[in-house]
Amino acid sequence: MSAIRRTRSRALGRTAGFGAAALACAALFAAAPAAHAAQPGDTAQGRAQHQGDRAFSDSTSTGPVFVQTDNPDGNAVVAYHRAADGTLTRDGIYPTGGKGGVLDGSVVDHLASQGSLAYDSRQGLLYAVNAGSDTVTVFAVHGDRLQRLQILGSGGSFPVSITFHGNLVYVLNALDGASVQGFVRVGDRLVTVPEWNRSPGIDPTATPQFTHTPGQISFTPDGTALVVTSKAAKGGAIGVTPLDSTGGPGGPTVFTPLPGAVPFGFVFDRAGRLQVTEAGPNAVATFTLGRDGKLTNTGELPTGQQATCWITAAGSHLYASNAGSGTLSGYATAGGALTPLGTTSTDAGTVDAAASPDGHFLYAQTGAAGIVDEFRVEGDGSLTAIGSVTVPGAVGGEGIAAG
């Protein structure tokens, strides 16, 4: 343990902080041999062509977009190259060495979670969960290509969400009462710390699984705590666990009860507020997080859509995914309150989404047919469709990350 602590001290140089765990959602609709060589771009009914003036005509950045299939026969990450105009071209398919999983009652998102794929661009590492194998896979990222480095146990049953901060990594396991397991990154490998395993105390017999299992785990922006959403489990709640100076759980988890809300996914906005999708009322709720771990609700806006479960940020804008409606609901965050920007249609079964680092492009994963829809984010936050790709073997899949 001393070696782990020394490594953490060198990497972070300060006290570790709260981890933010992911929020869970209600009512959802519903790998392969060695890496393939680069493939030509695969489009869904052909790529949409750019029309009108580009809001970011001076943007020339390119990068990767990674999509997890969660295929029960063999999980894989499909890598895409993002061109300067935001369109995607498939580069390769990379087996994780594990299997995907399917929660009872799920349809368009078999994991019923947010954040099953996490990209640490600073370290050039990609983390994927293998729900059907109870494992985590670590990939090295080389541009648009991946190299599998490690497969290790998730510390529990059915991992669904993973998060990192500095050299700390935590994974959320959904079944058998659920658990959170912590790891330390040493170089490009993860080391399991058995003492960093906590259970949120979820009833393992509660059904259906897709609503009565936790939905997401994430660090708070300062890395001093973890946040986890419970969806309908525990009556609906968000838990905040403080971390000690070694990066391990440093105190009891503080739960904020949200009866009937079914908190599913979340993201921190630029002001540090917690923006949470609530699948019960189909709304986006805003919370501030106190030093004591307690959450204060400062507002809530209904989306007017069905199965509002996922949310992502693109610059100063937020986009909530509505699986039951096949739409994205946009919001501006300036001024301390959410301002609706309108609704944009996607392919059926909108689930997780990811934005390019510059916030100019948004990629929405849709689980009904395993399609990723591509959008340009205009200056006013509106979305312009620029194309789509069909991800091989990704029907019902969840997990997308962009660099």
3-state secondary structure 355-371: ECCCCCEEEEEECCCCE
Domain limits for position 175: 2-402
Give the three-state DSSP class for 193. strand
Cis peptide bond upstream of 208, omega within 30: yes
Pick from 144, 1, 39: which is nearest to 81 by CA? 144
What is the count of structural domains for the chain?
1
Task: Give dist(CA 230, CA 21) in Å, integer.
Answer: 9
Sequence-distant (≥ 6) Cβ neighbours of residue 209 within 8 angstroms: 103, 104, 105, 106, 112, 174, 175
The pLDDT of residue 36 is 32
Residue 270: phi and psi, rounded to 5, are: -65, -25
- For the domain that residue 391 is a member of, what is the CATH number? 2.130.10.10
Give the CA distances from residue 19 to residues 163, 222, 243, 264, 266, in Å, rounded to whole numbers and listed in that order.
8, 8, 7, 16, 13
H-type alpha helices, 1-67: 2-12
Mean pLDDT per block of 10 residues along the chain (403 residues) reads 38 34 33 32 32 36 96 98 98 98 96 98 98 98 97 98 98 98 98 97 95 98 98 97 97 97 97 97 98 96 98 97 98 91 98 97 98 98 98 98 97
Give the CA distances from residue 329 to residues 319, 322, 342, in Å, rounded to whole numbers and listed in that order.
5, 8, 6
The pLDDT of residue 20 is 32
Other Cβ atoms closer than 10 A to 186: 14
The pLDDT of residue 61 is 78
For residues 180 and 226, the answer to whether their CB atoms sit within 8 Å is yes
Residue 378: phi and psi, rounded to 5, are: -75, 170
Residue 82: phi and psi, rounded to 5, are: -95, 120
The pLDDT of residue 134 is 98
Sequence-distant (≥ 6) Cβ neighbours of residue 237 within 8 angstroms: 229, 230, 255, 256, 257, 258, 263
For residues 352 and 363, the answer to whether their CB atoms sit within 8 Å is no
Look up residue 236 and give its DSSP letter: S
Look up residue 9 and give its DSSP letter: H
Q: What angle do CA 378, 395, 372 make, to 5 degrees?
A: 15
Prediction pTM value: 0.86
Work out the burial of residue 402: count CB atoms within 10 Å of its CB; fewer than 13 is exposed, 13-18 middle, 19 or more buried: buried
For residues 245 and 40, the answer to whether their CB atoms sit within 8 Å is no
